[in-house]
Amino acid sequence: MVSRYYHLLDPNLEGMKYTIDKQEQFTLINLHEEKLDSTLAPQLKSDFVTLNTEGTRNVILDLKEVKYIDSSGLSALLVGNRITNEGGGILVLTTISEHVFKLIKISQLDSILNILPTVEEARDAVFMHEIEGDMNEDEN
């Protein structure tokens, strides 16, 4: 497990608290924040780009601690979704609070984003996505 845990080391610096667990087929990001808003969204977008550059195709984003998300946070999720899709992978959001899910639904993003109730189901979705991708490559 590779973990990065960011703290506010300096009260004048903004930072995002999360852990990263890199597996063979996916990277699991556990966000340890109550709000995914304009102060944290740029860092998440940047991390999606970095993970993609490092070769990560599939990302599971565990949002169990997130209680609020604004338009900047939703934008970060869409960026992550686009980056993983363009790389042939999948972004799966999991353990979403009812309030965050309502905001996603109101924004009509529930039909665009992959949302599953548990990390285990998200892992299964990643494995199925990989199998489908392998099958499509074999047909070509």
pLDDT digits (tens, 9 = 90+) for 7-49: 333 344 457 888 899 999 999 999 999 999 999 999 999 999 9
Q: Which two tokens stand for residue 61?
A: 């984003």
Using a 10 angstrom Cβ sphere, with 0-12 exposed, 13-18 middle and 19 or more buried, the burial of residue 130 is middle
pLDDT digits (tens, 9 = 90+) for 83-109: 999 999 999 999 999 999 999 999 999
Provide the domain limits for residue 92: 18-139
One DSSP character per residue, 54-78 reads TT---EEEE-TT--EE-HHHHHHHH
The residue among 66, 74, 59 whose CA lies nearest residue 28 is: 59
Asked, for residue 32, whether it belongs to a domain, the answer is yes
Asked, for residue 12, whether it belongs to a domain, the answer is no
Asked, for residue 1, whether it belongs to a domain, the answer is no
Residue carrying the six token digits 């899709």: 85
Asked, for residue 61, whether it belongs to a domain, the answer is yes
3-state secondary structure of 127: helix
For residues 137 and 41, give the distance between their C-alpha atoms in angstroms, rounded to a whole number.
Answer: 34
Q: Domain of 68: which CATH number?
A: 3.30.750.24
Residue 63 confidence (pLDDT) above 80: yes
Asked, for residue 7, whether it belongs to a domain, the answer is no
Domains contained in the chain, number: 1
